Amino acid sequence: MFKEIPVFSQFPTSGYGYSEETKPMLNTSHGFIPWGDSHHPDISQTAGEIDGRFIFINENNTPRIAKIDLKTFETTEIIEVPNSAGNHSSSFVTENTEYVVAGTRFSVPIPQRDMPIKDYKGNFQGALSFISVAPETGNMDIKFQVLMPGFNYDLSHPGRGKSHGWFFFTTYNTEEASTLLEVNASQNDKDFIAAVNWKKIEEYVNNGGGTMMPADYAHNVYDEHTHTATSTMIKEVRVVNPIDVPGAVYFLPTPKSPHGCDVDPSGEYIVGNGKLSANLTVHSFTKMLAAIEGEKFDGEAYGIPILKFEDVLAGSVEQPGLGPLHTEFDGQGNAYTTFFISSEVVKWKLGTWEVIDRKPTYYSVGHLTIPGGNSAKPQGKYMFAMNKITKDRYLPTGPEMEHSAQLYDISGDKMELLLDFPTHGEPHYAAAMEADLIKKRSQKIYDLEDNKHPYAAFSDTDTKVVRKGNEVHIYMTTIRSHFSPDNIEGIKIGDKVFFHVTNLEQDFDVPHGFAVLGQNTSELLIMPGQTKTSIWEPTKVGVWPFYCTDFCSALHQEMQGYIRVSPASASTPLKWSMGEDIE
């Protein structure tokens, strides 16, 4: 592991989500939320190929999409997705990163309202959100939401090449059940893959189509110059009723609660993995267009035409394993599908649907990743399988264990297991790419001259302590191997003490940390050239030490200071210093 990047959850190691600068990143319309359930990272693309600029990732629980800048490997933007619930068929990017797409797993009342749960059917809806990404900055904005029937939208994938302009979403619970889904959502032989012509809807929207509806969602943006995030609440969103845009949305019948929805590099094949089906269903984009043209319909659902199964089906892989979930591609005409129940990865050939190889995974695999394996140009030499069950793979650690993953060499006809390794947390999905795409662009320091933080201090002479009522602002610097100031007096019980710490280092890989005894937020880890702020509300009179928490130098253990806390009634004067007395 090279770096753990906090996105939706507080991260005490660096102070993300605890520091004053980053708290706004976790703001939502439901207030500050300290955690998230992230699922599917996807790397930005240009012309269908991974370009290594950004990673997008979804938060499932309180629906949000985040953007990580691969120059700094930091989360720089989070947008909440209104009208969505269980943001699972997300966050997949179109061929030129025009959009990052977020589909709802749970359908809900739109707009949200107080209504009986039993009236779900016909009343709940599922929002598919198209979030535009600005070409230069990567800034996100919800362009439109398609309000679909009240199914569960499980996973999604953009068209590639010939199918660019379309987006495909697997659905389950087309039964529209609201209770005991393990039974009630498994009644239909076939659910659907929803094919959405987003270019057509985009055109409709650009011509003023759709309606603005009241909404309430947070848009949080981190500014690299102020080193500070801001959170803006947005009060409306554009929604589109699919039947208002004829020819924009079709349903492709797909057996048994399909989970994974994967499109091959050519854009021709759309693989729907029916998780309760023993077979893999592969649809043809060419046949789909012909079926639309020829109006080969098999009824409709809420006004959306259902295409005839036989007229869109390219073929199926017969009984390759039990419990198919996800498929990726190697760019050599082969597909690799994971099977949860039979715990294996099966390699099969596109077009002939024959099984070429199978390898066990340990145990019960979920997603798999081939670098670029969901793009138009896979960089397919390796594949790794991410498992849900660990059991005896590694030395025992009690009832709770880390998850397991396996790395395979897929350069030959047969897959070869190279490495079996534990992962941190559930390795839900992964995005991978050739290292050269990001190595050269990776930033080493933040330029101190670009630091526009309002509380930054650029030298020892800038350091000061300023009282504003019961708020005390400490403008503090760090450089090997001291804090300035390192002796502070005049703080009183009831004060809110803001430690604004600027790391003056301009050397690669020399962060400093900051911790003070009784700090009930978290430590800070400050990168060279950066300013971060921690609030401390002392509750006890005394002289309390603070110190550097990152082993910065040979004199790291000397990098410390004291802050004196007096009773609320005391008249101790405000005083700060560093190195006043050298003995």
Partner 1 sequence: MKTTNLKFLFTSLLVVLFISCKNETNNTEQVEEATEAVSTETTERQGQAFIEDDEATPNVLQIAIGSPDHTTLVAAVQAAQLENALVNAGPLMVFAPTNEAFAALPEGTVDNLLKPENKGTLADILKYHVTPGNYSKDFLKKFKKLGQANNQYVTVEVKGDDVYIGGAKIIASVPAGNGIVHVIDKVLLPPAKE
Q: Choose between 343 and 533: whose C-beta lies nearer to partner 1.
A: 343
Q: Which of 341, 445, 517, 541 binds partner 1 (CB under 8 A)?
A: 341
Q: Is 453 helix (H, G, I), strand (E, B) or coil?
A: coil
Among 10, 75, 174, 404, binds partner 1 (CB under 8 A): 174
User: β-strand 125-133 against 64-69: which pairing, if any?
Assistant: unpaired
344, 321 contact by CB (below 8 A): yes
Closest to partner 1 by CB, 210 or 323: 323
* Backbone angles phi and psi of 186, in degrees to 5: -115, 20
H runs (alpha helix) in 65-177 = none
Decide if 208 contacts 292 (C-beta within 8 A): no
Please report, as a single letter, which amino acid is at residue 128: L
14 is written with which tokens?
A: 């660096």
Residue whose entry in the numeric block shows the structure tokens 């990152």: 550
Q: Does 414 bind partner 1 (CB under 8 A)?
A: no
Interacting residues with partner 1 between 391 and 410 (CB under 8 A): 391-392
Q: Which of 44, 342, 406, 477 binds partner 1 (CB under 8 A)?
A: 342
Out of 123, 132, 266, 279, the residue judged to bind partner 1 by CB under 8 A: 279
Binders of partner 1 among residues 190 to 219 (CB under 8 A) are 190
By CB under 8 A, residue 278 contacts partner 1? yes
Q: Is 353 an interacting residue with respect to partner 1 (CB under 8 A)?
A: no
- 360 sits near partner 1 (criterion: CB under 8 A): yes
Closest distance to partner 1 from the beta carbon of 497 (Å)? 50
Q: Which of 222, 151, 160 is nearest to 181 (CA)?
A: 151
Quick one: which of 14, 205, 20 has its CA closest to 99?
A: 205
Q: Which residues contact 469 (CB under 8 A, 6 or more apart)?
A: none
Please provide the distance, in angstroms rounded to a whole number, between the alpha carbons at the two ends of the chain. Answer: 46
The nearest distance, CB 193 to partner 1, in angstroms, is 13
The residue among 273, 361, 383 whose CA lies nearest residue 320 is 273
Partners of 132 in the β-ladder = 99, 141
Q: Specify the residue, 214 or 396, whose C-beta has the smaller distance to partner 1.
A: 396
Residue 514 near partner 1 by CB under 8 A: no
Contact 572, 566 (CB under 8 A): yes
- Helix H or strand E segment including 50: strand 49-59
Residue 183 in the binding site for partner 1 (CB under 8 A): yes
For partner 1, the binding residues in 16-75 under the rule CB under 8 A are none
Token match 């009060």: residue? 235
Q: Which two tokens stand for residue 354?
A: 């024959």
Cα dist from 268 to 89, 94, 108, 264, whole Å: 21, 15, 33, 7
Segment 235 to 254, residues that bind partner 1, using CB under 8 A: 253
State which residue, 302 or 562, has the beta carbon closest to partner 1. 302
Asked whether position 256 contacts partner 1 by CB under 8 A, the answer is: yes
The answer to whether the peptide bond before residue 481 is cis (omega within 30 degrees of 0) is: yes
Residues between 282 and 301 that touch partner 1 (CB under 8 A): 298-299, 301
AA identity, residue 315: G
Nearest approach in angstroms of CB 323 to partner 1 is 7
188 binds partner 1, rule: CB under 8 A: yes
User: Which of 206, 319, 539, 557: binder of partner 1 (CB under 8 A)?
Assistant: 319
Say if residues 73 and 53 touch (Cβ distance below 8 Å): no
Of the pair 30, 391, the CB lying nearest partner 1 is at 391
Among 277, 337, 451, 478, binds partner 1 (CB under 8 A): 277
CB of 422 to partner 1, least distance (A): 16
Strands (E) across 264-402 are located at 269-274, 280-284, 297-301, 304-307, 313-317, 324-329, 334-339, 344-349, 355-360, 365-369, 382-387
Q: How far is the CB of 36 from partner 1 (least distance, A)?
A: 24
259 touches partner 1 by CB under 8 A: no
CB of 319 to partner 1, least distance (A): 7
What residue ranges bind partner 1 (CB under 8 A)? 174, 182-183, 186, 188-190, 253, 256, 276-279, 298-299, 301-302, 306, 309, 319, 322-323, 340-343, 360, 362-364, 388-389, 391-392
